[in-house]
A and B are shown apart, each in its own frame.
Chain A
């Protein structure tokens, strides 16, 4: 697969303010569903706006289909955007909203009718042509916004937290539907969200960002199972993160005890972040365990119980299908391959 969008060393500074983007480089492959994931203010929407052309980077190059497109205005780029608050035109009905881009490009009326019809079918809004957009529900407005962008046959569709305003159930439905549309039309989707679950559900590839820096790029499985640092681990799913050090390869010391692990290549006694997923903490009888703690709280989460266990210097989050009584002393152990060792991030 070829790269459809490439960003090379993008830096963005606003006047009188710090850097928003600090040297962003990434390649987006054709027909891929890429998600920019990160907390608010991490620069994910800014990066999207640079691809759309609403912002020009202070330095760095933007490539589209092999062509450098710095300075090309948004209306001349072959990308379309689904905006956060939909930004539908209130003076136009559903049909005219979708037809907008085609009318601007002076597409013949006959073709407009066919293409808008196809879009209405794609997003399941047949029969809504004459409705005023303000009288539609959030989910319907969202569909109009998607249809309005896709009708132009862009090579890349940019989506800026499009599901943020919808309720949970609708959001889940739309996630599946967006994925279906992306695969049906074989398009490249660049999706911005702060919702890690959304990112894991839909993406082929996830770009995790923080403070204008890309932390990790990888498939959902990679990012979840092999986070490169404590930030990614914490942001994608819940994690227990404790300070530790590596006395030698395959041995890690944390909370005053030594555990076997599978990581190597650290300097002797290098301080590291130790990351263990809540579901990877095994509960065993206290007298057989190296590490013990007192159960502080138990919350039923549907599939599992979430327990907070007060260990020696860390409160452990444990996901288990079996609940332990509050106040009980329990033991905890981990499989070596469930202990993830990460280099300390520079800022920490």
Chain B
């Protein structure tokens, strides 16, 4: 009984810093400068449909690439000796200890028209290629920055799968490919859903990566929102409305994702 009072500070925190701001965003999105109720701004969000589509699209591509890269890495990690796993995990985490801005900035110099990569191409008589300020560069930045968030949840789920299950599958007639799709993938679905969530959500709302690597032509929702609050286009009502729509989109996508989680199916 007494224990529940210890959660009081967190409850207060949640109300003050999560619930109230959420309500404020909803309020801003649905009112104008004179405090009158309006859906004008929500309706205006429609003008930016192309930016929404681009953000969702690029975030999906980045998430898919992360999944494809991270899945085998996580699996190999999970089958290593216990003490080597620790070392390898640290190597996976290592880039995250470096400042996010700095890491992304480094890509600018690598990808630039006179950057190291184009310079190397030049040595063999190729290029220069337009690498920076493309949507490809934005996806690259997302994959690079968020890959560990895909590897870690996958690894922690796979690590719990006992080797004897693979032997059992093989014993019951599965080739390695069949073992992958009948045993490993179904058992790692919780890791896939949480990894996808942890990559997709920050990727869809990023603005630093798109600003630094995407140039002016690859605006994402994050940039759009930032402009409404800090930029020239100052319009907090529109910014709040865009944020609200983004939240709903993420919510819908996550609900769809969770349909694949077997733990939910047990409850149904």
Contact = CB atoms under 8 A, between A and B. Distances in A.
A105 B187 contact: no
Contacts of B167: 54, 74, 81, 83, 87
Given A87-B164, A100-B182, A104-B182, A52 B187 contact: no
Contacts of A169: none
A87 B172 contact: no
Most B CB contacts (10 A, CB to CB) among A104, A148, A149 go to A104
A187 to B, nearest CB: 16
A149 B167 CA distance: 12
A80 B165 CA distance: 13
Range of interface residues on A (Cβ < 8 Å)? 20 to 34
For the complex of A and B, 9 pairs with smallest distance between CB atoms? A101-B172, A87-B164, A87-B168, A104-B173, A74-B170, A91-B186, A81-B171, A75-B173, A75-B170
Contacts of B183: 89, 91
18 contacts: A52-B171, A73-B175, A74-B170, A75-B172, A79-B171, A80-B172, A81-B168, A83-B167, A85-B164, A89-B165, A91-B183, A91-B187, A91-B262, A103-B182, A132-B266, A148-B172, A152-B172, A152-B173
A132 B186 CA distance: 15
Range of interface residues on B (Cβ < 8 Å)? 10 to 19
Interface of B: 162, 164-165, 167-175, 178, 182-183, 186-187, 262, 266
Given A91-B187, A100-B182, A132-B266, A80 B170 contact: no
Most A CB contacts (10 A, CB to CB) among B165, B170, B182, B186 go to B170
Q: What is the interface of chain B mostly: helix, strand, loop, or mixed? A: helix
Contact of A83 (B168, B173, B174, B178): B168
Interface of A: 52, 54, 73-75, 79-81, 83-85, 87-91, 100-101, 103-105, 132, 148-149, 152
A139 to B, nearest CB: 19
A119 to B, nearest CB: 13
Nearest to B187: A91
A101 B170 CA distance: 9
Contact of B171 (A75, A103, A105): A75
Contacts of A90: 187
Contacts of B262: 91
Nearest to A132: B266
